[in-house]
């Protein structure tokens, strides 16, 4: 049998319009009793509430990671470039491998997404790289770009 709160929505006192309310919202925020005074609080959102710092204590970014993983993360922080990213991704792969029966498709999608996020995060705000690429494209003539003159591309990039 369906929950009565899910079938009949609560009514808003100001304009007598139904306020949508799901079964979980009804348990957290029961409809106000008729004749009660005071303003009704807005319904809580499902999931972590705004400003929730729970992930900083219990999630991957917790300050106190397991010792073996913390060593890998600390070593990755000292490296630069691809070595740092590879060490960080290895740490994540090891963490996923520790789980029982990980879904290979989910792991693959997660690694792909994480890699893209790391690249975007690393290069967002790096306008110097973008400007250098623009200058490089400006220096190349149309014929050299079409012909794929690798030597001139390398020389222009090293300037």
Q: How far apart are CA 75 and CA 72, in angstroms?
A: 5
Beta bridge partners of residue 46, listed in sequence order:
none
Determine, yes or no, domain membership for 41.
Answer: no
131 and 117, same domain (yes or no) = no
Q: How far apart are CA 61 and CA 15, in angstroms?
A: 45
Domain that holds residue 26: 1-34
Helices 127-139 and 150-158 pack at an angle, to 10 degrees, of: 140
88 and 103, same domain (yes or no) = yes
User: H or E element: which one contains 10?
Assistant: strand 10-11
Determine, yes or no, domain membership for 16.
Answer: yes
Total domains in the chain come to: 3
pLDDT truncated to tens, each residue of the chain (159 aa)?
A: 444 444 444 554 555 555 555 555 555 555 554 445 556 777 877 777 777 776 666 665 566 656 666 666 666 666 666 666 677 777 777 777 777 777 778 777 777 777 776 666 666 655 555 566 666 656 554 444 444 445 554 555 555
Contact yes or no for 88/118 (Cβ under 8 A):
yes
135 and 118, same domain (yes or no) = no
Determine, yes or no, domain membership for 18.
Answer: yes
28 and 75, same domain (yes or no) = no
Query: Residue written as tokens 């959102």?
Result: 45
76 and 118, same domain (yes or no) = yes
Candidates 53, 118, 121; CA nearest to 88 is 118
118 and 148, same domain (yes or no) = no
Q: What is this structure's pTM?
A: 0.28
110 and 75, same domain (yes or no) = yes
């Amino acid at each position: 049998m369906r929950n009565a709160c899910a079938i009949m929505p609560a009514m808003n006192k100001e304009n007598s319009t139904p306020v949508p309310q799901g079964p979980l919202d009804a348990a957290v925020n029961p409809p106000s009793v008729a004749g009660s005074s005071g303003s009704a609080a807005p319904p809580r959102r499902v999931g972590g509430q705004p400003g929730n710092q729970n992930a900083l204590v219990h999630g991957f970014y917790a300050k106190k990671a397991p010792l073996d993983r913390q060593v890998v993360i600390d070593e990755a922080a000292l490296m630069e470039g691809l070595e740092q990213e590879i060490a960080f991704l290895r740490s994540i792969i090891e963490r996923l491998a520790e789980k029982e029966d990980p879904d290979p498709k989910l792991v693959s999608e997660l690694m792909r997404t994480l890699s893209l996020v790391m690249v975007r995060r690393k290069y967002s705000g790096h306008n110097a790289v973008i400007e250098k690429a623009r200058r490089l494209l400006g220096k190349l003539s149309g014929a050299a770009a079409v012909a794929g003159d690798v030597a001139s591309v390398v020389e222009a990039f090293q300037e």
